[in-house]
């Protein structure tokens, strides 16, 4: 557990080196985030589904990195969605910057319901319900966490994850 925490911490500090590297880091972060979330019992049933909305590179990295892995007793499954209308229930939804999250936030939250972690990469997305949002600060990839949004969705954030975030809204 400590090793995972250190890896995640150092990834926050890695300068952006290239577009594909950034996507790789976001994928690694996303897979590590799930370990620091308190999930409701309903989310622990069946496969553990990570949906990716409108970013095939992130989906490909996640698929490669999660191949044959489990989260607890659940198989990790990656689903790609090309539009907001395609999104189905999943434990994690990664919303790319190609989607205007603020415009589609209510629709997505309604589709997902409770117990789904929403991860975005758009400035200000936590103001519209995202729990974790990737940001670039001083040419470094970081993330912000909104604990109130997590509680609204029936999730809890580990203090370890909250302490690593670039900005925390209470």
Query: Are 133 and 143 in contact, with CB atoms under 8 Å apart?
Result: yes
| pLDDT at 129 (0 to 100) | 93
Q: Each residue of 15-36: pLDDT tens digit?
A: 444 447 888 889 999 999 999 9
Q: Does residue 19 or residue 138 have the better pLDDT?
A: 138
Measured in whole angstroms, the distance separating CA 138 from the mean position of its chain's CA atoms is 22
| pLDDT at 168 (0 to 100) | 56
CA distance 14 to 140: 6
Q: Each residue of 147-158: pLDDT tens digit?
A: 999 999 999 999
Reported confidence tier of residue 38, pLDDT bands at 50, 70, 90:
very high
Length of the chain: 170
Q: Does residue 168 or residue 85 have the better pLDDT?
A: 85
CA distance 16 to 75: 31
Rounded to two decimals, the pTM is: 0.85
E strand residue ranges, the chain: 37-38, 48-53, 70-71, 74-81, 92-95, 117-120, 132-137, 140-146, 156-157, 167-169
Smallest CA-to-CA distance from 143 within 6, 2, 1, 14 is with: 14
Q: Round the average pLDDT of the chain to a whole number and report it.
A: 85
Q: Does residue 162 or residue 155 have the better pLDDT?
A: 155
Stretch 49-57: mean pLDDT: 95
| pLDDT at 19 (0 to 100) | 47
| pLDDT at 84 (0 to 100) | 94
User: How many of the other CB atoms lie within 10 Å of CB of 14?
Assistant: 12
Stretch 59-66: mean pLDDT: 94
Domains and CATH numbers, the chain: 2-169 (3.40.50)
| pLDDT at 14 (0 to 100) | 46
């Amino acid at each position: 557990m400590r090793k995972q925490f250190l890896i995640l911490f150092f990834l926050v500090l890695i300068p952006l080196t290239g577009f594909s590297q950034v996507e790789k880091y976001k994928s690694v972060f996303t897979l590590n985030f799930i370990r620091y979330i308190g999930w409701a019992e309903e989310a622990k049933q069946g496969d553990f589904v990570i949906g990716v909305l409108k970013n095939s590179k992130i989906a490909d990295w996640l698929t490669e990195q999660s191949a044959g892995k489990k989260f607890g007793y659940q198989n990790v499954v990656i689903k790609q969605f090309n539009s907001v209308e395609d999104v189905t229930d999943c434990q994690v939804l990664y919303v790319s910057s190609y989607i205007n999250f603020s415009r589609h936030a209510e629709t997505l939250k309604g589709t997902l319901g409770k117990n789904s972690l929403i991860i975005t990469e758009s400035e200000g997305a936590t103001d519209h319900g995202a729990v974790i949002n990737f940001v670039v600060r001083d040419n470094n990839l970081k993330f912000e966490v909104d604990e109130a949004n997590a509680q609204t969705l029936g999730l809890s954030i580990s203090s370890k994850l909250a302490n690593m975030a670039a900005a925390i809204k209470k």
